[in-house]
């Protein structure tokens, strides 16, 4: 067979070969934001609508876009509601439509980011989302009280709507490595973070949640009791006892040896620095998977235990540092 015949045969084979399936286009998920009173609203919108810092991460967020937002968040916390005009203009420049109500928002979106900085308004703002059967990520704090946290989860379960809440600190690389067993069975974990207080919230709900969630990410469920005291430099220190003799400690950051976010986990196979902030992208990857699958990446029981731990720390403070069980504060919150 001469060269001409080889070429013809090759072309015929190519024409007759089955076409490779086209790469499936990522499912489009239109996202709505409730609350433009936190920097998370603008940061999340930038990552989703403009792109993550690392372009190689873009496929993990493909198809997700913030398309609409309802701006009002807190009604009575100035550092929250005073941000709304600036953040509204910022997200508008990234292609987000500003709407006048949550009901209007829900007609335009497939999933919701509840970003209101003020946990007091979360219960009332989540209810229409549950009624509309939209999956929802609720940014920290889940609510301002443990009773409201329980109500949100109960109503979501009754509605059959998946919900997810977490601090971005849960997704620190080393923190997840400790949880996954890099240092064996973790016997103790300590973490520090800023712990600015807001008088209308349980103390650690407002900002200490970041460090507390790092501790829980490493140790998991099983917290039994909590004692609240102070560090040598007079800042918040909370010590929790877990089943199996494990211990978890949260300390408020300072400007010297406990700067920003950090901590240490000790296991039966070594130690590992934990509690670092690794950006918002890892949390958004988890949110993207949640919106696509409808499966919350954090078990409800663990999340509620985190908030019971922080509520117990407040009760311990009221009792002068006595140990308070999580079971006790959960019972009281249920009674409400």
**Per-residue pLDDT at 54:** 93
**Per-residue pLDDT at 1:** 47
Q: Looking at residues 62-67, what average pLDDT do you find?
A: 97
**Per-residue pLDDT at 336:** 81
Strand order in the sheet with 29-34: 97-99, 64-70, 29-34, 111-114, 136-138, 163-164
Averaged confidence pLDDT in the chain:
93
Tally of structural domains, the chain: 2
Asked which of 16-30, 37-51, 75-89 is least confident by mean pLDDT, the reply is 16-30
Q: Is residue 102 part of a domain?
A: yes
Q: Is residue 292 part of a domain?
A: no
The residue range of the domain holding 253 is 172-277+299-336
pLDDT band with cut points at 50, 70 and 90 for residue 35: very high
pLDDT band with cut points at 50, 70 and 90 for residue 25: confident
Q: Looking at residues 6-23, what average pLDDT do you find?
A: 44
- Regarding whether 326 and 213 lie in a shared domain, the answer is yes
pLDDT exceeding 70 applies to what percent of the chain?
93
* pTM, two decimal places: 0.90
Strands (E), 231-331: 236-242, 247-252, 262-267, 270-273, 324-325
How many helices (H) does the chain have, and how many strands (E)? 13, 13
Last residue of a domain, one of 118, 139, 160: 139
Integer Cα distance of 88 and 71 in angstroms: 7
Q: Is residue 109 part of a domain?
A: yes
Q: Does the structure show a pLDDT above 70 at 12?
A: no
Summarize pLDDT for 259-312 with one digit per residue, the tens.
999 999 999 999 999 999 999 999 999 999 999 999 999 999 999 999 999 999
**Per-residue pLDDT at 238:** 98
**Per-residue pLDDT at 88:** 97
- Regarding whether 134 and 201 lie in a shared domain, the answer is no
């Amino acid at each position: 067979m001469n060269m001409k015949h080889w070429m013809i045969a090759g072309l015929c084979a190519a024409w007759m070969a089955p076409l490779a399936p086209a790469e499936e286009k990522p499912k489009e998920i239109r996202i709505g934001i409730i609350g433009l009173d936190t920097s998370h609203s603008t940061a999340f919108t930038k990552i989703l609508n403009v792109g993550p810092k690392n372009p190689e991460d873009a496929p993990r967020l493909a198809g997700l876009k913030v398309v609409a937002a309802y701006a009002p968040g807190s009604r009575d916390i100035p550092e929250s509601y005073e941000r709304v005009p600036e953040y509204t203009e910022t997200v508008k420049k990234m292609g987000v439509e500003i709407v006048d109500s949550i009901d209007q928002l829900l007609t335009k979106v497939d999933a919701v980011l509840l970003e209101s900085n003020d946990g007091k308004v979360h219960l009332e703002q989540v209810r229409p989302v549950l009624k509309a059967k939209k999956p929802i990520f609720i940014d920290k704090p889940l609510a301002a009280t443990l009773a409201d946290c329980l109500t949100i989860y109960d109503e979501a379960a009754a509605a059959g709507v998946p919900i997810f809440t977490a601090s971005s600190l849960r997704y620190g690389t080393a923190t997840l490595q400790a949880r996954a067993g890099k240092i064996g069975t973790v016997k103790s974990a300590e973490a520090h973070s800023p712990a600015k207080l807001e008088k209308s919230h349980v103390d650690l709900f407002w900002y200490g949640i970041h460090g507390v969630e790092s501790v829980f990410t490493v140790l998991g469920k099983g917290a039994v009791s909590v004692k609240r005291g102070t560090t040598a430099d007079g800042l918040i220190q909370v010590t929790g006892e877990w089943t199996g003799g494990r211990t978890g400690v949260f300390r408020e950051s300072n400007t010297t040896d406990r700067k920003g976010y950090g901590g240490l986990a000790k296991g039966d196979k070594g130690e590992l620095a934990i509690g670092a902030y690794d950006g918002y992208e890892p949390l958004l990857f988890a949110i993207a998977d949640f919106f696509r699958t409808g499966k919350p990446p954090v078990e409800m029981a663990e999340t509620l235990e985190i908030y019971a731990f922080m509520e117990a720390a407040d009760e311990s403070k009221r009792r002068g540092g006595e140990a308070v069980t999580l079971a006790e504060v959960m019972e009281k919150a249920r009674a409400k």
